[in-house]
Amino acid sequence: MNRMKEDFKLDNLPKHNIYQVPEQYFDRLPMRVMERTAGAERQVPAWQQSLWAPLRTAIAPLVLLLVFVGAFIVTLQQQKQDEQYALQPLAEEEILDYLSYNEDLETADFAELSSMSKQDFTEDFLNISSVAAEEELEYYHIRHIQE
Residue-by-residue pLDDT tens, the chain, 147 positions: 455 567 778 887 778 888 888 899 999 999 888 888 876 566 777 777 788 888 888 899 999 999 999 999 999 888 877 766 665 666 777 777 777 776 666 667 667 666 666 666 666 666 777 788 788 777 776 655 554
Does residue 112 lie in a domain region?
yes
Task: Report whether 137 contacts 146 (CB < 8 A).
Answer: yes
Domain contains 97: yes
What does the alpha-carbon distance between residue 144 and residue 147 come to, in Å, rounded to a whole number?
5
22 to each of 25, 27, 35, 138, how far by Cα in Å?
5, 10, 19, 91
Looking at the domain assignment, is residue 17 inside a domain? no
DSSP symbol at 21: P
- The residue segments making up the domain with residue 100 are 92-146
Domain membership flag for residue 4: no
54 domain residue, yes or no? no
Domains: count for the chain: 1
In a domain, 42, yes or no: no
Residue 110 lies in a domain: yes
Residue 3 within a domain: no
Confidence (pTM): 0.30
